[in-house]
Amino acid sequence: MKKGKLLVKGASEVVTCSGFQAKKGKEMQDLKVIPNGSVVIEDGIIKAVGPTEEILKQYDESQYEVIDATGKAVLPGFVDSHTHLVFGGYRAEEFSWRLQGQNYMEIMEKGGGIVSSVRSTKAASHDELYKVGMKRLDSMLSFGVTTVEGKSGYGLDLETEIKQLEVTNKVNEDHPVDVVPTFLGAHAVPPEYKGREDEFIDYMTNDVLPVVAERKLAEFCDIFCEKKVFSVEQSRRHLSKAKELGFKIKIHADEIVQLGGAELAAELGAVSADHLLQASDKGVADMAEKNVVATLLPGTAFSLKEDFARGRYMIDQGCAVALATDLNPGSCFTESIPLIFSLATLYMKMTTEETITAITINGAAAVDRADTIGSIDIGKKADMIMLEFPSYHYIPYHIGVSTVEKVIKNGVLVFDKEQGGGRLC
């Protein structure tokens, strides 16, 4: 083995998704595929990519550790750009209650909803949250995810929000998958602040946010801008302060009602606006104009039996669309990338090519990393996956089943089904 030097040789196709920024509209269809391709990696960085014949003329394969990709497709590692990764407890009963026809407010009255996860997360120790966080990352890795965003938001107070973010940063240090931390203290209104939402936003904005910034625990700030949660004006106030403190911003926007969250995301220059089931035509146009990534979460709509976001329309209007799992303990307890692929292609009218773009280069753009990950380009981090099959078309075709055989992270093989299917380091 040649330390720090890896050659992925002879892939039936290398799906590069080449680019250094989000792809918008029709650009999402172009995956820039190299038939019979190879990738040269040195010190965790992509050194060369091209047809195998040309690569082998330029590089002596005896100087590299070689992964034979004959009959396999190679793609960039997947980027899951919206998750609630670190939380305590589960809410399986609520799923059954929803199946019985109970609505969100009825579940809340039983002590369920976000406040249930808040109680469990407050009660969980740092070590307990760390263990479940690492376990969830292992599962994500098996689906080909090499970078994931992880939000807080199950504390709603200084102490627990800090605990969530500390755990998020620790699992990022210890696990091969990169975790992008997001502060979501304004995720819900705690019972003690009911009817005093402005006071809660003041608390999160003036007391908690500066501590998170000072301790450098999060890169992004997010808020749940929604009817009966936080208004557009409250969201504007909170996110504007976050920008002043150096945070990049995201926004849970227009999930349940058409409130104007998409327009606010464009106004404030958010990196992404997420959910968007009810986003207006104007909101979509504003996002396209201001280059806000539209991050769609079809697993949540599927789980809640809601209509899906208008992925086809957004792409046709020139938006950059990303896809993510929204892994969380309540409305969407899944880290299944195959499920997201199936929902996007079968029910959101997105092509296979657009879907791949949405969870590679556009997912990278949704966490502001399109310049370093999300595609197989020279100079980028060597985050790649190898499928069991010869073409990317097998990803949605093998419905609900992962087609990922190997995962390379920073130029190191970290997952291999042929070696038992667990994390290798």
Q: How many Å apart are CA 365 and CA 382, to the nearest integer?
A: 17
For residue 105, what are the contacts with CB-CB under 8 A and spacing of at least 6? none
Q: Which residue has the tokens 């996002």?
A: 287
Separation of CA 406 from chain center: 20
Other Cβ atoms less than 10 A from the Cβ of 215: the count is 12
N-term to C-term CA, the chain: 16
Any binding-site annotation on 375?
no
For residue 190, give both structure tokens.
Answer: 């705690």
**393 annotated as a binding-site residue:** no
126 assigned to a ligand binding site:
no
Q: Give the H/E segment covering residue 341.
A: helix 337-347
**246 labeled binding residue:** no
- Asked if residues 103 and 129 have their Cβ atoms less than 8 Å apart, the reply is no
Strand (E) or helix (H) holding 159: helix 158-174
Q: Is 330 annotated as a binding residue?
A: yes
* Structure-token pair, residue 125: 């120790």
**422/198 Cα distance (integer angstroms):** 47
- Asked if residue 275 belongs to a known ligand binding site, the reply is no
CA pair distance 80, 325, nearest whole angstrom: 7
Q: Three-class SS string for 234-301? A: HHHHHHHHHHHCCCEEEEEECCCCCCCHHHHHHHHCCCEEEECCCCCHHHHHHHHHHCCEEEECHHHH
Closest CA to 365 of 408, 321, 325, 407: 321
Any known ligand binding at 255?
yes
328 assigned to a ligand binding site: yes
Q: Are 373 and 77 in contact (CB under 8 A)?
A: yes
- Cβ atoms of 156 and 120 closer than 8 Å: no
238 labeled binding residue:
no
Q: Has 144 been labeled as part of a binding site?
A: no
Flag whether 154 is marked binding.
yes
Query: Binding-site residues for N-formimidoyl-L-glutamate, please?
Result: 154, 328, 330
Which residues are known binding-site members for Fe(3+)? 82, 84, 252, 326
Q: Where is the binding site for Zn(2+), in residues?
A: 82, 84, 252, 326
Q: Which residues are annotated as a binding site?
A: 82, 84, 91, 154, 187, 252, 255, 326, 328, 330-331
